[in-house]
Structures are given as structure tokens and as C-alpha cells.
Chains A and B, each alone.
Chain A
Amino acid sequence: MKTKPIIWGSLALGLLAGQAAAEGQLNIYNWGNYIAPDLVTKFEAEHDVKVTVTEYDSSDTALAKIQAGGHGFDIWIGSSAYVPIYVQEGLLAESLPNQMENFAHLAPKWVDVEFDPGRSYTIPWLWGTVGITVNTDMYKGEINTAALLFDTPDELKGKVNVVPEMRDVMGLAIYYLGGTDLCTDDKELLVKVRDLLVKAKENWISMDYSTLEQMVNGDYAATMDWNGPAMRARLQNPAIHYGYAATGYPTWMDNAAILADAQNAENARLFMNFMMDPENAAILSNFTRYANGVAGSEPFMDPEMLDAPEIKVPAEFAENTYFARTCSPEIEKIYSRIWTDVKK
């Protein structure tokens, strides 16, 4: 019976860890490690509200949970490509952030956006691009091309990682083959995209989300990546540079919105307003290494962020981008089939 003390001990320990109730509450559903802890503390102090951040790992898992209901979240933070789906499915409250006090601080470019015209549901969280991070000690050639991924040069064969984000990879490949529309229904082109990707995969070492450590320690010589990790990698190893696919690369934005079944809607509104304050937006950017959508946040940002080539898109590539969005279900179905053939 000598294990009994262990059992009861751990049970008691467990019960002690039960949750304490607070008066004002706010539940945020966010990507992992995507909010500055300082920001949470600051908001809690200013408004006497206990903030709980719960994390997700995949946009579709998050969507499924919010659709199912009974989740307890007040604020969802997620991709612009999903905002129209959330609105169409009636999952967001029309919280009219465009009438909040701090709305005037938003950069004009991010006010009248395609996925939420005039911002009746969402506020900007962070935005960025998808590109190719290259260790220039290991590869000396041109880095501003998607050919590194799709027609991998010999020096990089077996050393390139591709982040398995279906819609970004498909988009990069479509534009690489001369397409002009992310959601193309040109089936001949899509067959070419499939053949390109299936063949290109032979030269990829992996299709993995985590890239920072592998880039820094040299396991990867290049990877498709978001600009945030690219900057973190460069700060740890100056030989690492971020390339933009000249044929066309995605720009994306994550947004915050109040859910239709939020139980703490009033606190959620306070938080939305709070996040449009330039100083707070800057705290978020400094932590995540992504740009925010609030004008006037620059004075509060780390100096190294202001002129970072990963964040400030070089003028020559500024026009070569397309905005990430969700395609029609019919097109997505074809994408799925191609993606299964690629990933198997």
C-alpha cells in the first residue's frame, strides 16, 4: 500500500490548484505566445479585470471550437482570411470598434479592409508577410525568389524547410507559375501547381512549423517563413536574411474581434479600445517582432524594429504582394486534393 500516499498527495495537490474566482474577467483565445505578458498585466491593473489567455495551434481547430459553442471565450484573435467566415457564420458580435475612442489612431491603410470594410467587427492585431529565410553563409545566390522552394538550387537540396500552411504554399506556387489570382479556377494551371509541388517536395528536408531554432543552428539552410521568426533568427545569427518572392508573396493580418456569445462583452470592448492605443500596440510589436496597424506607435517601438528589413518591406518588392484570403469552397476542395498529394 506504499503508493497510497502518492495518490492522495497528488490528489490534494491537484485540488489546491483549483481556480480562484475574480470579479471582472476577460477570456482571450489567441495563437500561442502571441501577446506580451506585460500588456496583460497593464490591462489588468488599469481596469481591474482578470485576463485569461487560452492558446490555439490551428485556425481551423479554433473555428471548430467557436462554432460548437460553450467555449467561454470573449475575444478571438485570428487571421484576416477567417474573418469573413466568422462573420458569415454569425460568430462575431458587431461591436463597432470604429466608434471607439482610440479608433482614430488606426493607420488609414488598415481601416477600410476587404475582409471587414470600415471595421465594424475587428481591430488590427499584427500584420506581416510570408517569405523565404536564407542562411547566407550556406547559400550565396539570389534570395528574393520562390525558386529556392520550388526549383531548389543544388546547394540547397535537402536543406530547405517549407512551413505546411496550405494556403500560403499554394499561393506562392500559383504566382510562381505566372498565376495572378490566389483563388484561381484555371485547372490546367492547378495541375501544373500540383506537379511542381510534388516534385519540389523531394528536395525539402521537412515541412515543419518551428523554424527558428533549426535556422539558427544550421539544420536548415533556408525555409519558407513568416517575417517575425525571420527577424528573431537574424538577431541571433546575422548571416540570416529574409527574401521576398519577387513573383508574388502573401501579406496577412491577424485581428481581434468580440465573439457573439461573449460573456464579458463590456470588458472585451475595453480591451479592444486599449489595444488601439499606440503605446500598447508598440508593446505588442516589440514582443512579437511583427508590425501593428496603429499609427503613431513608432516612438514606442524598439529602434531595431523600425528599420528591420523583415518588417519594412523594401520599395522594390512593395507591389509584388497579394492579400491572404479564403477561397470559395469549390476551389478549396481542389486545393485540398493537391495538398494531400503533396503532403503524403
Chain B
Amino acid sequence: MTTSPERIVIAGASLAGLAAAHGLRERGFAGRLTLIGDEPHLPYDRPPLSKQVLRGLYSADTTLPRHPDLEAEFRLGLPATRLDPEERFVELGDGSRLPYDRLLIATGTRARPWPKPEEAALDGLYTLRGRDDAQRLGQRLQAKPRRVVLVGGGFIGFEVASTCRDLDIPVTLLVRDATPLAAALGAHLGGLIGEVAREKGVDLRLASEIERMEAEGGRLTAVTLKDGERIETDCLVAAIGTLRNVEWLDGSGLAADAKGLRCDAFCRALRRDGSVVRGVFAAGDVARWPNPHDDDALVAVEHWGNARAQAETAAGNMLAGDASAMRRHDHLPDFWSQQFGLTIKLVGLTDGADAFAVRHGSLEERRLVAVFGKEGRTVAAASIDSARWLPAYKAAIRERAPFPPIEEALDQPRLRVQEP
């Protein structure tokens, strides 16, 4: 496949899709470029939605900047519904077909809906993924609900809780696990965030789940927890994770399931038998790729930084001709979260970490850099309001430095290695 492509289709018009479009044009692609988006909006940024947009700061319009010479065609408001990799076309919701020479699959994820449909339909129940969600929930919050109940112990749940407190709205946060944010940050840092949340007035309930909801005339009025406690509320936000948008790939032969669309190190989509699908690439939340920083374990990374980096890599590889000219996607996963006035940043992946140590600052000061180790290697580092030290640790993670890395440095407490 050495002919240069004339027509590129990008399924997914969000961060990854737009970054790929920019990447293709920067690399000189002059052919026809089409982006398909199921939402009616031009590509927009999501991280501000749970924070400043809900809070009503600045503009709610987070449309991402597009280069004036992008010259891309946007097919918005229609999802891709079918892929035929043999005939090389994508079918849209209205039955129209878009032929491609190269296809990038960047269809991302959607909010996991509340599992009981009759409760999910209640007035007063919200999820948060897109800008329409943020607009609806934002309007509700501006109208000062009596109490917001948040379900979900992830970053979105905590960020929304923080926003509610900024707006002086009473909030109960229900976390199913015994420690908040433990999956990403471990017990020490997750516990710290929980502590901060409580100080800021969040009614944080750990190991807590909803048994049932009550409604009057289709409007949510209260929830009852599994332990029997009843909480009156007129606004519930379900931040219980995401689902990958892969259903449209059913029947295409591509290796796509709830964990994501499998691809190789060069972002090329794979079939179920592991063979490469000609001309089809993947990037962003939907892509499941071999992570070189974790012995090529397959991972789907639902972070802003990966979406951009993987889209860039995929764009380069889409124009590369053959595999010898392709670059492998070796992005070190990273993300940030802002809540309760703190900035939390993480580089690397904490999955399977068996050691944890604070390297600068302290939990007490709420200003720190902490590192995570796995089998003697440094695999991740987290900072709270200490972002400027993070690049040094990022380099250590890339180099698989022995754990703990960077010894005899300034502003280091006495080393105490603990369980994460």
C-alpha cells in the first residue's frame, strides 16, 4: 500500500479526530478530508465541562480552535453506523456511504447510562459527557437544587462535587469503593482527596450505593441507599464510567468489544485474528493498544493527552506508506484533574503498582510528588500542586528507573515506601 491517499475519513469529530485532521494537513495531506460526528457540534473540549462550564465561568462554548486552512468537511449530527473494510466505506445514520483510502476510528466513549431505565428516565437525573449534558446540568445547578447526589467515585464525580461546593450547593457523593479514586491514585492520595472533599463540605459516603429512587410525577424526589438511609434530592448525577462506541463496528470483522478496538503499535486496527486491516487506524479513548511502558500490555487510555498524541501518531502513519516508515505510539499516559482548588497530575499508569512513596512535600501539606513502583521499577508519578517536578519523574518512568527514583534531591522527606 504505497499509493498516497486521496480521501481520508475520520470517524469521530472530537479531540482525537480534530488532532488527526490537523496532523494530516501539517504533514502535507492535500486530499479530501471528512470528519463524522454524531453530535451536532464542531469538535469541542470536554475537560472544562465538569468545572468552569458547570460553574458558569467564562463562555460555555468550548469549541476547539481549528486552523484556518484546515479545509475539512464536517458531517455532524449523524453517527457512523457501519464499516465495510473490504469495500472501504463507512455508512452513516442516513444510509449514505463515505468511501475512504484511509480511515481513522476515533469514535470515543459515551457516558454509561444509569442501569435501571425507569430511573434513568426521571426528571432530575443527569449524566455528564457532552456539552449538551453540561448545559442541561449547568442550568439545573444555576437554579440551586436542594441537594445534588453524585454517584461515582471517579474524577468526574469529584470535580462535579467541587463545582457544586463552589456554587454553595449541598452535595452528597456516593462512592462504591471503600477509598475514593483508589483505582487511579491509590489509597493514600485517594484518601487525601476524600479528606479535602469533606473539609469543603461534601457529604462523602464511602462503600455506599443506591437501592432505589423515589419520584413524584416523573420528578426525582429522594434516593434510598443500600444501608436504608433516605436522602431527599431533586438532582442526581450518575458519573459511573463510560462505554466505548464500538457497536457500529459489529459485522466488520474488526477486533472491537467493550474494552475497545484493538490496534497494533502503529495504531493500525486489527481483525479478530490479529491481522492488520488495510488503511484503517484508531486513536483516542476507543483504541486499545500495546503500551511499551508496560511490556506491551493492551490498554485503552481515556485521557486528553493520549487522544491528541495518538491522533498525531496515527496521522503520520496514515501517510507513511508502509510500516517501515511508521512510528510507534509510545505516549506515556498522563492526565490532570482540578478540584477543591488542588491540581492533581499523574504520569504513567498505577495499575498493579506494589509500592508508593512521597518524594517531595507531604500529604499533610497537600503539596507533593509521589511515585508508584511495580516489581522494583518506577511506573507512575503523581503531583499535587507541584507540577514542575513532574517532568523529572516522567523521564524516570520512561527510563524504567529503579524504584524509588531520584534520590538525594532537595525538599525530600525521609523516604517511607508503603503499599499504594
A and B associate? no
Binding site for B on A (CB under 8 A): none
Binding site for A on B (CB under 8 A): none
